[in-house]
Structure 1
Amino acid sequence: MEPEEQTPPRDAIAESTAEALELGQQLWALAAGGLEMLLRPWNAYQAGIVLAVFVAATLIARPIANAFHNWLRTREGWPRWRMRAGLVLHKRIRGILFVLLIWTVVLVMQEMTWPSRSRLLTVIANLSLAWLIVSFATRLVGNPLLRNLVKYGAWIWITLRILGITEDAIHLMDGIAINFGDLRISLFLVVQAIVILGVMLTLARVISSVASNRIRANSDISPSMQVLGAKLAQILLFGGAFFIGLKAIGIDLTGLAVLSGAIGVGLGFGLQKVVSNLVSGLIILLDKSIKPGDVISLGDTFGWINALGARYVSVVTRDGREYLIPNEDLITTQVVNWSHSDKYVRLDLHFGTGYGDDPHKVRKIAIDAACGVTRVLQYGSKKPVCHITGFGDSSVDYVLRFWIDDPTGGLTNIRGNVYLALWDAFQAEGISIPFPQREVRMLNDPLPVRVAPGEDDG
């Protein structure tokens, strides 16, 4: 016999349909009752008061907002976070005034008349205050999409709580569900997951930001270890927030652990380069071979370290280009770190002078010319020196060595400045800079006729 197809029982389908219809009828009755209540004389009167308060808040907010904006433009020395807070406050001046005015009206009416005649005003005052608090609190969420989800979700939830229809809304959203075997995903579970994960990730972001600032402010920790500590704090906090959020929703993490292990094996083979760069980044941070601010040369790239990332290192060159070099390249290839152990860099310039020039005088002139260039060090063992390196075909060869302590200022420009100083000094002292000269003669050209001294050309 062929197995019978597994179909949902008709009673279950009918029961679900009946529940949905019942919830719909309840919501319709609630909406109709709210509309009828709003049309009552005292409630209509309160709605008019709310409209008048809104218009008054709008008119008062305009001059205050303009004056506050002009005042903010004069705060040039403020830090960035304080200026952002001022802009957020500027955008919500009307809402703040509306909350203050509506609560003032509510308190006055509660003292002067029956509580029932200010009930609608109290509800609107509570809603406006809650919405204002949520709009300020969600500014801590950095991601715009997540911020909007948390903001509107919190607004809806608070509105339902204030109106007293939370249980009906939960029952309705829980009835809209999809079943995958033993797993049941309802609309209420999805909303709950978004809100809880959003709150947990926001808290993790705030805590990690505070921890990173504290770590970077500690001068006893090296720059590389500061970056490592900040990265580890972010990984631990965000990972912990994610798993705590899943656990709070009610998702079983046992199956997730098995699944993550299988996915990890697959990713290990498919993302070898990515994993290699991540591990290389940790090695760079731990051995402190490269840190932000160091001046390095890698192949034809010369610049200073701008930032250490999880996958790459940002190197900024003198011409403003920013190279993103994979961490693996810094581990497996030869890198020149001009400021690894100290900031001093020695540069060598090679030049030659004629055989008729006194080498003692040439060396002194070259050292004095180098000392006259800014950025060239002139103390202790870092003074410029000049040595003869050999006797060439057409010149006496020298090397001029000098030190600098700011390689981030560039190497080519300081070499050019010293060469220019040598040229000016040699021109002033009459020192010649010879260059090789060659006479080229073709094989088929006739030899020139030499005339003996005293002979007539004719």
Structure 2
Amino acid sequence: MKSLWLSTTISEKKLELFNDWLLRYVLTYDNLVQALIITCALLIAFLFGNRIKRRFSTPELPQKRFGQLLVAVLPLATPLLWLFLQIISLLVAMEAEWPHDLLTIVVNLLAVWIVIKTASLFFNNTAWIRLITVIAWTLAALNILDLLGPAVRLLDRLSLKFGKLQISLLTVLTGFLTVVLLLWGARLLSHLLEKRIRGNASLSPSIQVLFVKLSKITLITVAILVGLRSVGLDLTGFTIFTGAVGVGIGFGLQKIFSNLISGIILLLDKSIKPGDVITVGETYGWVNSLGARYTSLIAPDGKEFLIPNEDLITQQVENWSFSNSTVCVKMPVGIAYSADVRKAMALCEEAARQTERIIQEPPPQCLLVAFGESSVDLELGVWINDPINGVKNVKSAVLLNIWDAFHEQGIEIPYPQRDVHIRTMPPGTGGMAGGQEEGHRQDR
């Protein structure tokens, strides 16, 4: 009974201490006022946030300037307005030296939530979203517990000194976050510039690709340099690194540097651009994209070849659509010696005119080019203005029409044949001369 009485007494004391703490630090007049301010700010943000959504949520919003950005940010209208009102309330309370603990907690939690939601809108990589979430919650917790200042001072003390340069853990973390944010901003800006450049019809495709690549390289370089400079790193030491890179290019990176320069030359002289139909050696296909090191070429069978840019400069390249997309396609056709040559030539030209992709000006033309061993050799030349849609397929269509026309008109398409003459030698003769022809056999 005594132990039971003692445990009951201890429990009552704990409950009494908890009630005392609750009345002293939580259920206070100051916290009640702050809770009312937070509730009023939430109601105002909810009312005006819904009005803002209804005002800007229109079907034509994505087509307007910065429309896609507004569509992405519009769901955050209410929490952003609530955060804005809470920050104003917090600043007023701090200036008037009123209690503001509850306001500080709400501002930090709201800021973290908005940062995480914004990161999920603009980042597709879940790893980056998780990293941003951990950093945001850590900073918010330290700030709420009033430990952010001591944590910053502790990180600043953990440092290493290299000559006149002192690098602390705080410098490393700050530099990393700054560079990441600047790279993200550079990436977003490069996407906006790319859309503007792609939408400019006055620029050729090759110049568009050149401007897009130069803008990306420039923005990324500037972001890295500004990020390193913002944390106090001396950039003069990069001259040594630049010299080392130059030596590396001179010895081990010759091909890479050659392909890079060749890619820039291809973009500047406009000899090859995305969409061109080219033949490099035995590789034929459409230019899909021009990269810094290679050019992507898609063959008619769907295979994608990565051609080094240097090969496009040093080797002979057939560009079917360089200055004019109208090209001539030649097809050999053989007929039997017994066939009517003029009729066969007319049938070939008529079959070409009946094919859908063959243009009529210049007109199809069939020529007699040679007398072969087994056939009369003709050559049909036709013109197309869309080589990007394929060449073999149009050849197949024309030859199929020729096949049908020849069968209807009785024009024979020969196959190789040879006449073999057999001679018998008289008895007692050993030479090859003389003899009598017994006959001949036609071997087909």
Task: Note whether the superposition's TM-score is higher than 0.5.
Answer: yes
Cα deviation for residue 443 of structure 1 reads 7.8
2:253 is aligned with what amino acid? L
Cα deviation for residue 170 of structure 1 reads 1.5
Give the equivalent residue in structure 1 for 2:41: none
Q: Which moved more, 1:157-166 or 1:304-313?
A: 157-166
Q: 1:160 to 1:177 in 2, by over 3 A?
A: same
Give the equivalent residue in structure 2 for 1:334: 316
> CA-to-partner distance for each residue in 1:46-97, whole Å, 9 max, x for gaps?
99xx9xx9xxxxxxxxxxxxxxxxxxxxx9xx89x9999989999x99x969
The separation in 2 between residues aligned to 1:37 and 1:429, in whole angstroms, is 109
Does the CA contact (< 8 Å) of 1:153 and 1:195 recur in 2?
no
Q: 1:355 to 1:263 in 2, by over 3 A?
A: closer
Alignment of 1:69-218 (within 5 A): 119=100, 121-138=102-119, 139-140=121-122, 145=127, 148-161=130-143, 164-218=146-200
Cα deviation for residue 449 of structure 1 reads 10
Does the CA contact (< 8 Å) of 1:201 and 1:242 recur in 2?
yes
Pick aligned residue for 2:380 from 392, 400, 404:
400
Does the CA contact (< 8 Å) of 1:150 and 1:198 recur in 2?
no
Q: 1:152 to 1:450 in 2, by over 3 A?
A: closer
Cα deviation for residue 283 of structure 1 reads 0.7
2:380 is aligned with what amino acid? L
What RMSD in Å do the two structures reach over aligned CA positions?
Answer: 4.2
Q: Which moved more, 1:172-181 or 1:284-293?
A: 172-181
SS in 2 for 1:40: helix
Give the equivalent residue in structure 1 for 2:15: none
TM (norm. structure 1) is 0.71
Pick aligned residue for 1:266 from 241, 248, 251:
248
Pick aligned residue for 2:207 from 225, 229, 248:
225
Q: 1:445 to 1:121 in 2, by over 3 A?
A: farther
Give the equivalent residue in structure 1 for 2:235: 253
Q: 1:326 to 1:432 in 2, by over 3 A?
A: same
Give the equivalent residue in structure 1 for 2:285: 303
1:248 is aligned with what amino acid? S
Give the equivalent residue in structure 2 for 1:435: 415
The separation in 1 between residues aligned to 2:295 and 2:221, in whole angstroms, is 24
Q: Which moved more, 1:201-210 or 1:285-294?
A: 201-210
SS in 2 for 1:251: coil
SS in 1 for 2:418: coil
Give the equivalent residue in structure 1 for 2:394: 414
Runs (5+) with no aligned partner, structure 1: 1-35, 54-74, 452-458
Cα deviation for residue 392 of structure 1 reads 3.2
Pick aligned residue for 1:385 from 365, 377, 382:
365
Runs (5+) with no aligned partner, structure 2: 1-17, 39-58, 427-434, 440-444
The separation in 2 between residues aligned to 1:220 and 1:151, in whole angstroms, is 44
Q: 1:259 to 1:87 in 2, by over 3 A?
A: closer
TM (norm. structure 2) is 0.73
The separation in 2 between residues aligned to 1:374 and 1:445, in whole angstroms, is 61
1:371 is aligned with what amino acid? R
Cα deviation for residue 158 of structure 1 reads 5.0
Pick aligned residue for 1:352 from 331, 334, 342:
334
> CA-to-partner distance for each residue in 1:156-198, whole Å, 9 max, x for gaps?
4455455544332211111222334443322211111112112
1:327 is aligned with what amino acid? N
Cα deviation for residue 352 of structure 1 reads 2.4
Does the CA contact (< 8 Å) of 1:131 and 1:155 recur in 2?
yes
Does the CA contact (< 8 Å) of 2:424 and 2:436 recur in 1?
no
Q: Which moved more, 1:81-90 or 1:197-206?
A: 81-90
The separation in 1 between residues aligned to 2:398 and 2:277, in whole angstroms, is 21
The separation in 1 between residues aligned to 2:365 and 2:310, in whole angstroms, is 39
SS in 1 for 2:324: coil
1:341 is aligned with what amino acid? S
Q: 1:396 to 1:449 in 2, by over 3 A?
A: closer
The separation in 2 between residues aligned to 1:37 and 1:363, in whole angstroms, is 108
SS in 2 for 1:324: strand
The separation in 2 between residues aligned to 1:241 and 1:418, in whole angstroms, is 57
